[in-house]
């Protein structure tokens, strides 16, 4: 019995057998395979180069086809449309998402109760959606780069056929309309987060102007001045005057300063951006950037401005007060790099502590005292809570004067009326509660 002959071992005829580990070049001409350079490895180089050229050609053709047939739209997390699209997609039915993220809503009410809710939105990864008969590939990516706010930067890329690119604008329009509808009839409160303005909590129902009772004529004069300013943009620009206006509302705590600003925002259909000058990590540069990038149709509110800068001398000695220099604040308000078309409101309980440099026109153009409740306000507030008890308004005022209180704030009166809202008679019977010294610790603006 003949034993099998090992590979590459010459047979009796002297012809070596072919090894299965060797490449088979039978498909090439004999003149090529018999070439000594080919046998020395040149053939492998040729084949490798050919494959590389083929791979590059295929890649180029694929890239060309991608550019010709597909279109991309990138949404960055720093853009408003980013959150709009996420919310829209989470509510869109024709979506295929296998990766989800949760957004938790947490609200603690004044009475201590807590309301929570969860919303699922497309998470980082790949998603598909079908819109008006066209397919869209959606990719949400989270970058390793971190924004100044400490939150990782993200992007969403929408890819579809070039012929369907017009639908991208339609999707964003729907997302914007959905976001606007949620905020319709409400006031959005913004707070600074890093170098961004971000909504703080849920949009709040607009506060009606008639719900705020100030002394006679005060409310109307401020509203008229603001509306005149908003209609005078061309006049300012024609004369080369910076188109901005600053207001200072000063007076004791609980007099309604912040409440009025909320009502004014509702009256103008504006939002409110609250800036805390005392924030420890706030710098001059960040302050200037934020004040130059306030959301459109938004009132800038600087609350308790005296708390940040009590004395100019203290600022000069220490260099910084709460992270922002006094000169940095002045430059942000009306310096070369200050924003235009801005409406700024400042509040303070201690106007005597403000530096005169801050009070000059161009920084603060309109100053008004919002004081403790006057006789006019007391009667108007009583009728606001008890509109059918006009005959008891004078009685309430007279009984209040008998208490001989040095003052009473509108916040104290509101607290009394809310606590005894059953009837005006019950409120009258319990008016002595305003004499309790601890009452001022319960009610604030």
What is the mean pLDDT, run by run of 10 residues, along the chain of 445 residues? 46 46 51 54 63 71 66 87 87 73 57 58 85 91 67 86 90 88 83 82 87 94 95 91 93 92 94 86 86 90 79 48 77 76 91 89 93 94 93 93 91 92 92 72 37
CA 303 to chain centre: 19
Q: What is the pLDDT of residue 37?
A: 53
* pLDDT recorded at residue 15: 47
197: exposed, middle or buried (Cβ count in 10 Å: 0-12, 13-18, 19+): buried
The residue with tokens 């180029």 is 60
Report residue 361 as tokens: 């026109």
Q: Angle between the 257-268 and 218-230 helix axes, to the nearest 10 degrees?
A: 40
Give the residue carrying structure tokens 């088979």.
Answer: 24
Q: Is 274 exposed, middle or buried (0-12, 13-18, 19+ CB in 10 A)?
A: middle
Nearest-angstrom CA–CA distance, 190 and 187: 10
Name every residue whose Cβ is closer than 8 Å to that of residue 308 and which is 6 or more positions away in sequence.
277, 278, 321, 322, 324, 329
Q: What integer pLDDT is reported at residue 43 of this predicted model?
A: 58
Q: Which two three-digit tokens encode residue 211?
A: 């719900």
How many Å is the Cα radius of gyration of the chain? Answer: 36
List, edge to edge, every strand of the sheet that includes 342-348. 196-199, 189-193, 271-275, 298-302, 342-348, 244-250, 366-369
Residue 357: name the closest of 328, 383, 381 by CA: 328
Q: What is the pLDDT, as a whole number, of residue 62? A: 62
CB 82 within 8 A of CB 176: no
- The distance of Cα 290 from the centroid of its chain, to the nearest Å, equals 12
- Domains within the chain, CATH numbers bracketed: 71-184 (no CATH), 204-369 (3.40.50.300), 375-441 (no CATH)
Q: What is the pTM of this model?
A: 0.67
Distance in angstroms (rounded) separating the CA atoms of residues 63 and 61: 5
């Amino acid at each position: 019995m003949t034993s099998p002959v090992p590979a590459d071992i010459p047979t009796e005829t002297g012809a070596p057998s072919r090894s299965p580990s060797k490449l088979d070049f039978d498909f090439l001409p004999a003149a090529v395979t018999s070439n000594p350079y080919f046998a020395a490895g040149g053939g492998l180089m040729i084949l490798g180069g050919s494959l590389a050229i083929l791979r590059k050609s295929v890649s180029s053709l694929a890239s060309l086809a991608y550019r010709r047939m597909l279109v991309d739209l990138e949404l960055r997390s720093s853009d408003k449309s980013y959150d709009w699209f996420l919310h829209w997609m989470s509510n869109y039915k024709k979506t295929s998402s296998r990766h989800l993220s949760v957004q938790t809503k947490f609200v603690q009410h004044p009475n201590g109760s807590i309301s929570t809710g969860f919303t699922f939105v497309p998470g980082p990864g790949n998603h598909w959606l079908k819109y008006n008969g066209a397919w869209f590939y959606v990719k949400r990516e989270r970058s390793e780069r971190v924004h100044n706010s400490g939150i990782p930067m993200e992007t969403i890329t929408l890819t579809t056929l070039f012929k369907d690119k017009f639908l991208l604008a339609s999707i964003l329009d729907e997302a914007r309309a959905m976001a606007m509808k949620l905020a319709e009839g409400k006031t959005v409160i913004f707070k600074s987060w890093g170098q961004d303005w971000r909504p703080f909590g849920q949009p709040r129902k607009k506060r009606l102007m008639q719900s705020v009772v100030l002394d006679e004529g005060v409310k109307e004069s401020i509203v008229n001045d603001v509306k005149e300013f908003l209609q005078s943009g061309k006049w300012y620009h024609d004369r080369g005057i910076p188109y901005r206006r600053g207001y200072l509302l000063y007076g004791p705590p609980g007099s309604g300063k912040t409440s009025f600003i909320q009502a004014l925002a509702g009256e103008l259909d504006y939002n409110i951006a609250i800036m805390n000058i005392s924030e420890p990590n706030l710098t001059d540069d960040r302050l200037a950037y934020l004040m130059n990038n306030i959301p459109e149709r938004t009132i800038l509110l600087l609350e308790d401005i005296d708390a940040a800068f009590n004395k100019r001398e203290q600022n000069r000695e220490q260099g910084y007060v709460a992270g922002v220099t006094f000169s940095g604040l002045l430059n942000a308000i009306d310096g070369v790099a200050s924003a235009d078309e801005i409406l700024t409101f400042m509040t303070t309980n201690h106007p005597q502590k403000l530096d005169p440099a801050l009070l000059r026109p161009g920084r603060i153009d309109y100053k008004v005292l919002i004081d403790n409740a006057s006789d006019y306000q007391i009667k108007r507030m009583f009728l606001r809570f008890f509109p059918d008890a006009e005959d008891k308004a004078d009685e309430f005022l007279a009984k209040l004067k008998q208490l001989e209180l040095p003052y009473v704030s509108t916040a104290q009166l509101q607290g009394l009326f809310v606590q005894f809202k059953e009837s005006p008679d019950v409120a009258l019977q319990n008016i002595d509660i305003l004499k309790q010294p601890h009452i001022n610790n319960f009610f604030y603006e």
